[in-house]
Amino acid sequence: MAERRTEYVTCPLCEATCGLELALEGDTVVRIRGDRDDVFSHGFLCPKGTTLGHLQDDPDRLRTPLVRRDGELVPATWDEAFEEVERRLAEVREQHGDHAVALYAGNPTVHTLAGTLLLRPLLLALRTRNLFSASTVDQMPKHVSSGFMFGDPLTIPVPDLDRTDHLLILGANPMESNGSLCTAPDFPGRLAAIRERGGKVVVVDPRRTKTAEKADEHVFIRPGTDALLLAAIARTLFDDDLVDLGRLEDFTDGVGEVREALEGFTPEAVSPVCGIDAATIRRMAHELAEAPTAAVYGRIGTCTVEFGTLASWLVDVVNALTGNLDRPGGAMFPAPAHSRRRSGPGGRGFTTGRWHSRVKGYPEVFGQFPVATLADEIETPGDGQIRALVVLAGNPVLSNPNSARLDAAMASLDFLVSVDIYVNETNRHAHVILPAPGALAESHYDLAFYALAVRNVANWSAPVVPVPDGMLPEWEVMARLALAASGMTATADVEAFDDLVVSGLVSSHTADPASPIHGRDVGEIVAALGDRRGPERLVDFMLRVGPYGDGFGAGPGDLSLDLLERHPHGVDLGPLQPSLPDALTTPDGRVHLAPPEIVADVPRLAAALDRRTNGELLLVGRRDLRSNNSWMHNIPVLVKGKRRCTLHVHPGDAARLGLADGVDAEVASAAGKIRVPVEVTPDVMEGVVSMPHGWGHDVDGVGITVAKANAGVNFNILSDDSRIDPLSGNAVLNAVPVHVAPA
Ligand SMILES: Nc1nc2c(c(=O)[nH]1)N[C@H]1C(S)=C(S)[C@@H](COP(=O)(O)OP(=O)(O)OC[C@H]3O[C@@H](n4cnc5c(=O)[nH]c(N)nc54)[C@H](O)[C@@H]3O)O[C@H]1N2
Ligand SMILES: Nc1nc2c(c(=O)[nH]1)N[C@H]1C(S)=C(S)[C@@H](COP(=O)(O)OP(=O)(O)OC[C@H]3O[C@@H](n4cnc5c(=O)[nH]c(N)nc54)[C@H](O)[C@@H]3O)O[C@H]1N2
Ligand code: SF4
Ligand SMILES: [Mo]
């Protein structure tokens, strides 16, 4: 029998970054529990975290590249697969130009080192402007509001959960999602602690969620109207003389413009549209302003709606007006260990629309086009039509709006290549599938989520099982994909590619006056990084030149990958620190509370004040603890039990529409129609129905047998790809008007 060993890794499944303790026999995981010594999660984990072993050993996992031959996906060697990729991409580019190839980056791209570090190099190799990602069905509005307000789309304030006295949560359900744009392992414990220390938690949601149940107060809101509520809260702060910017006063512009822009949004005016009475709105404003510290936090329900950017902006406007932006207990900016050092306020600032999408003329945002227009770009003939697509760790056919249309568009492509761990609803249309070995066979460091964490921490995970025979680390898959896109498959030299990536990063630092290695020799620094290669070498470099790093001798700290390797439970770098104005990268180094681009969108919100319901129900989403978007449904322990893909309907609506618990309803929207079982519950607001996304696995060609047997129904057949938040291009996935009838 193999000897039992214990390993510590950070769970890469969601944003919470829990530390896990794995017991392994040989290469088999025999038990997973929370790592009690983890500096951040202190032993917390969720049911998904315990299944990483099942995920790794899932017999449906891909273990070899697949290439389509005579209509069938068949096993192939890596060389054959990359040769096919190179040949087909070259054909498409020759015939239709570089922009005929598009790239879609799915959610796990930000949960792997390969994805976070090699997406840019791959995009450069593809030479295309057609970049799409799950960000435009998710958080793009927050990037846009942060970009305009603070100068960088990644300068995102997070609620200082562990010190706040008052937390207002809008459109998030961290009891199930474990938090998003707010990395906080054990979110449940951190929420409970707010109340235990005498603070208050308020949840605004059209559903009585588990988070709402754990809060002091739950306020139902009509879906899609958070921007109105927040505008009325801000307006109340002005009216009742509650505005006090505190420290920010000295370097914030636009307070007067905000006041003027929000003039029309009195609590009385927004009340009938939001479904919240005016007195409650005033009280919410007063409580935020009068609490010793407070933080407003908005997520999916505030982003994936028609006023997503306005709502995301107003969250931080209210944080700023109440003096809570960038102060302990308020909304603060993380300083992750791998971030670049800065020498003071000011930078290039943020703009959108540097180029536009071909068919609908949507502006580029953060270098991307909205996924809501991917089908337009594939289907519409003409110069620049997308004919080939690279999908990295994504499943747009389930996760993007109007998925029936997108599904057909995928099937029409000349060439589709996917990097994934399964054959899913999207890559069943692929011509080549390149398998990734999965989390436990990879090293891990949360480049994306430590930048959104409620404490500054750093934790490194080494692979705990070998890359299975015949597979490659995802880093190498991505590198070879980039080489194939450059026509270099035959001579594929991953080492040389790796050297190129690292020297590119190092030289951007030696040229940067704020870097501790400014002016030093690139070769000397690369040599000092020693024998490490791939993501290890890049992460080591970033840590060393980061704010706690050894600076290759220049200090100020001692952080390096060596040091993290000696600390398997992570390194705690302390609570968040006030960081403005230095962290601002607006050209003038000031906070722009009223960016003209955003203020220009306020009249659209004002028009919504006249809106009344017209008998339709509004469909919203929901997540549950045992799911992870579209892809953890193949793990038997996570799908067993009561069926979860149901339509929640309020008893009043059920009676009115003749819908009974457990019986199928037909749900129709502007985009499509589905049949889904009804679950009658008072936990959803009257006039609102809810179902989860990421289901609908019962389609031909998928290789996920457990999921297929627990198929559920695809929410996004109903979401309308013609509706986006105009500033961010984000899809409207919540507050979808639907008609519901017994099936
Ligand atoms: N209606 C509605 N739609 C939504 C949402 C909603 O709330 N409502 N939420 C949206 C949000 S927030 C998101 S983030 C998107 C997600 O949208 P997508 O990113 O398109 O979809 P996922 O379901 O995350 O698919 C991830 C894929 O990555 C694969 N994968 C897992 N691990 C790895 C790995 O290590 N390497 C590789 N290469 N692949 C891997 C999985 O098998 C899966 O196929 O969905 C969005 N869609
Ligand atoms: N278990 C689990 N965890 C996950 C995921 C998962 O699929 N499953 N996905 C991960 C990903 S990719 C993300 S982005 C995060 C998302 O993290 P969260 O944002 O916390 O996700 P949700 O649970 O979808 O919560 C959104 C809430 O918004 C409410 N809502 C809908 N419309 C509106 C509205 O107009 N206004 C208001 N105020 N509320 C509204 C919904 O009822 C729902 O309760 O979760 C991550 N964690
Ligand atoms: S909460 Fe997220 S990070 Fe923690 S164990 Fe669950 S899936 Fe993993
Ligand atoms: Mo997401």
User: Would you tell me how many other CB atoms lie within 10 Å of the CB of residue 240?
Assistant: 12
% pLDDT > 70, the chain: 100
Structure tokens belonging to residue 238: 């002005």
Nearest ligand 2 atom to the CA of 299 is 19
Q: What pairs with residue 620 in β-bridges? A: 690
Report long-range pairs for 349-355 (Cβ below 8 Å, ≥24 apart).
349/151, 349/585, 349/586, 349/587, 350/144, 350/147, 350/148, 350/151, 350/152, 350/153, 350/585, 350/586, 352/144, 352/147, 352/597, 352/727, 355/129
User: Is pLDDT at 30 greater than 90 in this prediction?
Assistant: yes
At which residue do the structure tokens 């999660």 appear?
A: 41
Q: Helix, strand, coil: what percent of the chain each, to 5?
A: 35, 20, 45
Query: Ligand 3 pocket: which of 8, 9, 13 to mutate (most atoms <8 Å of CB)?
Result: 13
User: Does the residue 133 lie in any domain?
Assistant: no
User: What residues does ligand 3 touch, defined as CB less than 6 Å away?
Assistant: 11, 13-14, 16-18, 45-46, 48-49, 178, 185
Cα torsion through 727, 373, 102, 15, rounded to 10: 60
DSSP 50: G
Average pLDDT for 318-337: 98
Query: Ligand 1 pocket: which of 61, 299, 300, 421 to mutate (most atoms <8 Å of CB)?
Result: 421
Centroid of ligand 2 to alpha carbon of 100 (angstroms): 34
Structural domain containing residue 652: 613-742
Query: Ligand 3 pocket: which of 9, 10, 14 to mutate (most atoms <8 Å of CB)?
Result: 14
Q: Is the CB of 438 under 6 A from ligand 1?
A: yes
Residues 53 and 71 in one domain: no
Centroid of ligand 4 to alpha carbon of 280 (angstroms): 31
User: Does the residue 294 lie in any domain?
Assistant: yes
User: Does the residue 347 lie in any domain?
Assistant: no
Q: Write down the pLDDT at residue 195.
A: 98
Nearest ligand 1 atom to the CA of 419 is 38
Average pLDDT for 455-462: 98
Residues 33 and 74 in one domain: no
Residues 618 and 598 in one domain: no
User: Is pLDDT at 413 greater than 70 in this prediction?
Assistant: yes
Which of 189, 398, 167 minimizes the C-alpha distance to 299?
167
Q: Is there a contact between 742 and 666 (Cβ–Cβ < 8 Å)?
A: yes
Average pLDDT for 86-98: 97
Q: Is the CB of 52 under 6 A from ligand 1?
A: no
Q: Write down the pLDDT at residue 615.
A: 78
Question: Residues 255-306: pLDDT tens digits?
Answer: 999 999 999 999 999 999 999 999 999 999 999 999 999 999 999 999 999 9
Q: Write down the pLDDT at residue 489.
A: 84
The overall average pLDDT reported for the chain is: 97
Residues 102 and 188 in one domain: no
User: Does the residue 450 lie in any domain?
Assistant: no
Nearest ligand 2 atom to the CA of 14 is 47
Please, what's the b/e burial string for 135-146 (b: 16 or more CB within 10 A of its CB; e: otherwise)?
A: bbbbbbbbbbbb
Counting ligands in written order, the one closest to the CA of 420 is: 1
Q: Is the CB of 177 under 6 A from ligand 1?
A: no
Residues 22 and 88 in one domain: no
Concatenated DSSP letters for 355-401?
SB-TTT-PBPBTTB--GGGHHHHHHS-STT---EEEEES--HHHHSS
Q: Based on the structure, what is the number of domains in the chain?
A: 4
What CATH number does the domain containing 529 carry? 3.40.50.740
Residues 85 and 159 in one domain: no
Sign of CA dihedral 656, 614, 305, 375: positive
Q: Write down the pLDDT at residue 236.
A: 98
Q: Is the CB of 696 under 6 A from ligand 1?
A: no
Centroid of ligand 1 to alpha carbon of 397 (angstroms): 10
What CATH number does the domain containing 47 carry? 3.30.200.210
Nearest ligand 2 atom to the CA of 626 is 1
User: Is pLDDT at 2 greater than 90 in this prediction?
Assistant: no
At which residue do the structure tokens 């420290």 appear?
A: 247
User: Does the residue 693 lie in any domain?
Assistant: yes
Q: Write down the pLDDT at residue 235.
A: 98
Average pLDDT for 42-53: 98
Centroid of ligand 1 to alpha carbon of 109 (angstroms): 9
Residues 77 and 179 in one domain: no
Q: What pairs with residue 170 in β-bridges? A: 204, 298
Query: Checking DSSP bridges between strand 166-170 and strand 673-680, what pairing results, if any?
Result: unpaired
Average pLDDT for 103-113: 98
Average pLDDT for 594-608: 98
Q: Write down the pLDDT at residue 288.
A: 98
At which residue do the structure tokens 């599938």 appear?
A: 433
User: Does the residue 185 lie in any domain?
Assistant: yes
Q: Is the CB of 121 under 6 A from ligand 1?
A: no
> Which amino acid is located at 360 in the chain?
K
Nearest ligand 1 atom to the CA of 399 is 47
Residue nearest to atom 2 of ligand 3 (CA): 14
Question: Residues 614-671: pLDDT tens digits?
Answer: 779 999 999 999 999 999 999 999 999 999 999 999 999 999 999 999 999 999 999 9
Average pLDDT for 29-46: 98
Counting ligands in written order, the one closest to the CA of 180 is: 2
> Which residues have their alpha-adjacent CB atom under 5 A from ion ligand 4?
138
Cα torsion through 271, 272, 276, 280, rounded to 10: 40
What CATH number does the domain containing 586 carry? 3.40.228.10
User: Is pLDDT at 613 greater than 90 in this prediction?
Assistant: no
Query: Ligand 1 pocket: which of 54, 104, 133, 137 to mutate (most atoms <8 Å of CB)?
Result: 137
pTM of the model: 0.98
SS3 573: strand
User: Does the residue 311 lie in any domain?
Assistant: yes
Centroid of ligand 1 to alpha carbon of 395 (angstroms): 6
Instruction: Quote the crossing angle between the two packed helices 534-545 and 113-126, to the nearest 10°.
Output: 100
Residue nearest to atom 6 of ligand 3 (CA): 46
Last residue of a domain, one of 13, 36, 57: 57
Residues 507 and 400 in one domain: yes
Centroid of ligand 4 to alpha carbon of 623 (angstroms): 11
User: Does the residue 96 lie in any domain?
Assistant: yes
Q: Write down the pLDDT at residue 152.
A: 98
User: Is pLDDT at 1 greater than 70 in this prediction?
Assistant: no
Centroid of ligand 3 to alpha carbon of 214 (angstroms): 19
Q: What are the φ/ψ torsions at residue 290 (nearest 5 degrees)?
A: -95, -15
Question: Residues 478-514: pLDDT tens digits?
Answer: 999 999 999 988 787 999 999 999 999 999 999 999 9
Counting ligands in written order, the one closest to the CA of 189 is: 3
User: What residues does ligand 2 touch, defined as CB less than 6 Å away?
Assistant: 14, 107, 138, 170-174, 176-178, 180, 204-207, 209, 221, 223-224, 226, 299-301, 305, 620-625, 627-629, 734-735
| Distance, CA of 436 to CA of 89 (rounded, Å) | 21
pLDDT confidence of 611, banded at 50, 70, 90? confident
What CATH number does the domain containing 673 carry? 2.40.40.20
Q: Write down the pLDDT at residue 491.
A: 82
User: Is pLDDT at 612 greater than 90 in this prediction?
Assistant: no
Q: Is there a contact between 506 and 525 (Cβ–Cβ < 8 Å)?
A: yes
Residues 279 and 398 in one domain: no
Residues 187 and 310 in one domain: yes
| Distance, CA of 210 to CA of 219 (rounded, Å) | 13
Last residue of a domain, one of 39, 57, 75: 57
Residues 232 and 295 in one domain: yes
Last residue of a domain, one of 17, 36, 57: 57
DSSP 36: T
Q: Is the peptide bond before 575 cis (omega within 30 degrees of 0)?
A: no
Residues 556 and 636 in one domain: no
